[in-house]
Amino acid sequence: MVDDILRTPGAVRDAERWTAHNYHPLPVVISSAEGAWLTDVDGRRYLDCLAGYSALNFGHRHPQLIAAAHAQLDRLTLTSRAFIHDQFADFCRELAELCGKDLVLPMNTGAEAVETGIKVARKWGYQVKGVSPGQANIVVAEGNFHGRTTTIVSFSTDEDARADFGPYTPGFTVVPYGDLAALTAAIDENTVAVLLEPIQGEQGVVVPPEGYLPGVRQVCTERDVLFIADEIQSGLGRTGATFACDHEGVVPDMYLLGKALGGGIVPVSAVAANTDVLGVLKPGQHGSTFGGNPLACAVAIEVVRLLATGEFQRRSAELGERLRAGLEGLVGKGLVGVRVRGLWAGLDIDPALMSGREACERLMERGVLAKDTHGSTIRLAPPLVITEEEIDQAVTALAEVLTA
């Protein structure tokens, strides 16, 4: 096909013309998808190795999730939290049970779950811990990514995410990720929480040293500080366990969840914690018009049920080993580093060869879609329904890109 009868170039131009340029997407225009595969407006197929930043852990249009969405669309879509609807309690109960917590507070986007966690931790600090008014402090990590609100970017260490969005929200102390001594030293009588990603996704799938998360758990318990785990990207099967914290037997005081919770259909996020923590919120103190709506709950109930089978965590763990073996074989052949947890990988490309962006463009030409992050790093996060053969296909495409 020649360019003037392809639909892609015009569609890319139109998208650029009519939107703010806060993203730099690959020049591909998707029109349909199923499982691990995407099809563009010109009928070309691509293996999805990003899965909507892990929002599509169960693949595109998983039949059980689509059926739940259709059924709910035909009955009831929105009530607001002014009334209770018939999907609400089941969602909250089943998610609370999956998390091993007493209560769930549903929101929509990941950033809202993080904001909720921050508000709850501060209120807990004042009302339960006895921190002096206005003094609450939260310890966070360098290289964090927790979302895009003005408060959240206030404690980002990524200049692109933060610069020129001040004045910044006070009340956060940044320490190096993975350094338990630095984190411990940063805690004082005003510290209400430690907020961490158990694996830093956006930073390039950075796994902290073994023993770090259990150490954080212990120091938080000893110093009467809440441990808030942002599992928005790492949770819900991505790493070969329900939560990334599970790999080290760590149970945080608060889970922040999002992305895959909505099954790739609707935005659903949530905070899960025990009554002594979430119970500090009273009517009128927090909320969201769309949080916990019937459509979201109907889909998310099925997400929780899929996870309760353990099948997706198992697939992620087993297939992740195949992905690891394939990628480790490329170290020294274009890759200078690889980090893998389940079906989640951060690959450092030799910067002398090409940028991460260039590698993703070349992967796209070979029918594989992935996303670069921070210069020469690529993140792979395929849907957990991907097969062994498809993993091999992605690794082969990468090997070709690195040696071409």
Ligand X SMILES: Cc1ncc(COP(=O)(O)O)c(C=O)c1O
Q: Give the footprint of ligand X on this chain (CB under 6 A).
A: 53, 109-111, 114, 145-147, 197, 201-202, 230, 232-233, 258
Among residues 101, 123, 129, 259, the one annotated as catalytic is 259
Q: Please, what is the minimum distance in Å from the beta carbon of residue 54 to ligand X? A: 8
Alpha helices in 289-387 (DSSP H): 294-308, 311-328, 356-365
- Report helix, strand or coil for 267: coil
Burial class, 404, CB count within 10 angstroms (exposed 0-12 / middle 13-18 / buried 19+): exposed
Query: Is the Cβ of residue 105 or residue 330 nearer to ligand X in the bound state?
Result: 105
Among residues 91, 145, 172, 290, the one annotated as catalytic is 145
Query: Is the Cβ of residue 236 or residue 395 nearer to ligand X in the bound state?
Result: 236
Cis peptide upstream of residue 167 (ω within 30 degrees of 0): yes
Q: Please, what is the minimum distance in Å from the beta carbon of residue 114 to ligand X? A: 6
- Report helix, strand or coil for 262: helix
Query: Is the Cβ of residue 53 or residue 168 nearer to ligand X in the bound state?
Result: 53
**In the β-sheet with 377-380, what is the strand arrangement from edge to edge?**
335-340, 345-349, 377-380, 371-373
Query: Is the Cβ of residue 183 or residue 232 nearer to ligand X in the bound state?
Result: 232
Q: Please, what is the minimum distance in Å from the beta carbon of residue 231 to ligand X? A: 8
**Taking CB positions, which residue lies at the least distance from ligand X?**
110
Known active-site residue 155: no
CA–CA dist 272, 94 (Å, integer): 11
Q: Please, what is the minimum distance in Å from the beta carbon of residue 43 to ligand X? A: 30
List Cβ neighbours of 89 (8 Å cut-off, separation of 6 or more): none
DSSP letters, 46-90, are EEESSHHHHTTTT-BT-HHHHHHHHHHHTT-----TTS--TTHHH
Known active-site residue 48: no
Known active-site residue 259: yes
Active site (catalytic) residues = 145, 230, 259
